[in-house]
């Protein structure tokens, strides 16, 4: 049975993970209702209230703080153990060994990739630009260095993202992947001259397996075709953001 998007997932490495839905918050349309993004035009007070609700709901699962990121569709990974807690790190992925601190990425069609290794966790925001630039690869490497393990010890969860029937892209997107990995061509279906349907889930699986991660869990939920549960920028343009979070419980 597929768990609801807002069910806490328990990993083999003792980590826990969560993909939020758009339900259960205070934001009004078009951000209704659990918008967690503070950069999309929503009322800042509503966003703060939604983030507070999320944190409070996760306290019983051992979350003491959520580390929000300033995401830029890049490939940089921030070490949250070296973060002093001031400001918002500018990065598209994060790793930590700190119990009670949730690594978090915001999405509304991009793919949230959550990772767990023995004693450490990581989260990556993987749109096509970041995925092609190596954000998932970089996050796995940083996580393995922090945990002192190999990629075979890493567990990955892939959250909701724009699905392969909805993600129309141009030649330049396909070329960004195929130029470094011919196998990536399997993730693209030709629509017409110069245009393709792209499968982010397959591209992420290829990247993870290529670096040595084999424990990959996903339900391939499409954000575009699930308006009740998911925000989608491609579908709505003006919309909120849901989150993917992963953490080591503090208790």
**Model pLDDT, residue 4:** 74
Give CA–CA dist 251/184, Å, rounded: 41
pLDDT in tens, 103-118: 999 999 999 999 999 9
Length of the chain as a residue count = 251
Q: 18 and 3 in contact (C-beta within 8 Å)? A: no
Q: What is the pLDDT of residue 1?
A: 35
Q: Which residues pair with 9 in a beta bridge?
A: 17
* pLDDT number for residue 2: 55
CATH classification (class only), 11-247: alpha beta
Q: Where are the domains of the chain?
A: 11-247
**Could you give the CA distance from residue 125 to residue 60 in angstroms, rounded to a whole number?**
26
Token pair of 182 as six digits: 């011919």
Smallest Cα–Cα separation from 207: which of 133, 150, 123, 144?
133
Residue 160, number of CB atoms within 10 A of its CB: 28
- For 49, 53, 59, 109, 239, the CA distances from 235, given in Å and listed in that order, are 25, 26, 33, 9, 9
Buried residues in 71-94 as b, exposed as e (16+ CB within 10 A) = beebbbbbbbeebeeeeebebbbb
The string of pLDDT tens digits covering residues 50-74 is: 999 999 999 999 999 999 999 999 9
Distance CA 141, CA 192 (A): 37
Which three-class secondary structure state does DSSP give residue 30? coil
- Any alpha helices (H) in 179-239, and if so which ranges? 200-211, 233-236
Q: Taking a C-beta distance cutoff of 8 angstroms, is the pair 244, 159 a contact?
A: yes
CA distance 92 to 105: 7
Report, as ranges of residue numbers, the positions in the chain whose pLDDT lies below 70. Answer: 1-3
Q: Helices H, strands E: what count in the chain?
A: 6, 14
DSSP H/E element including 242: strand 242-247
Q: Quick one: pLDDT at residue 7?
A: 85
What pLDDT is attached to residue 5? 83
Q: 10 Å Cβ neighbour count for 245?
A: 26
Quick one: which H or E segment has residue 130? helix 128-133
């Amino acid at each position: 049975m597929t768990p609801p998007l807002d069910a806490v997932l328990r990993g083999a490495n003792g980590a826990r993970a969560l993909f939020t839905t758009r339900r259960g918050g205070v934001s009004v349309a078009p951000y209704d209702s659990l918008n967690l993004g503070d950069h999309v035009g929503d009322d800042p007070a509503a966003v703060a209230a939604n983030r507070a609700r999320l944190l409070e709901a996760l306290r019983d699962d051992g979350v003491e703080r959520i580390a929000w990121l300033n995401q830029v569709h890049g490939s940089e990974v921030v070490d949250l153990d070296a973060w002093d807690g001031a400001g918002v790190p500018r990065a598209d992925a994060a790793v930590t060994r700190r119990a009670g601190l949730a690594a978090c990425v915001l999405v509304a069609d991009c793919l949230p990739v959550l990772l767990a290794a023995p004693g450490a966790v990581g989260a990556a925001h993987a749109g096509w630009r970041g995925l092609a630039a190596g954000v998932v690869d970089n996050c796995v490497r940083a996580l393995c260095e922090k945990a002192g393990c190999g990629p075979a010890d890493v567990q990955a969860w892939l959250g909701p993202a724009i699905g392969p029937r909805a993600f129309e892209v141009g030649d330049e997107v396909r070329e960004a992947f195929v130029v470094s990995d011919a196998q990536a061509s399997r993730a693209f279906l030709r629509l017409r001259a110069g245009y393709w349907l792209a499968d982010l889930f397959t591209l992420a699986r290829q990247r993870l397996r290529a670096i040595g991660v084999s424990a990959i869990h996903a339900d391939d939920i499409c954000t575009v075709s699930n308006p009740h549960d998911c925000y989608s920028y491609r579908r709505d343009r003006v919309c909120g953001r849901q989150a993917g979070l992963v953490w080591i419980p503090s208790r």
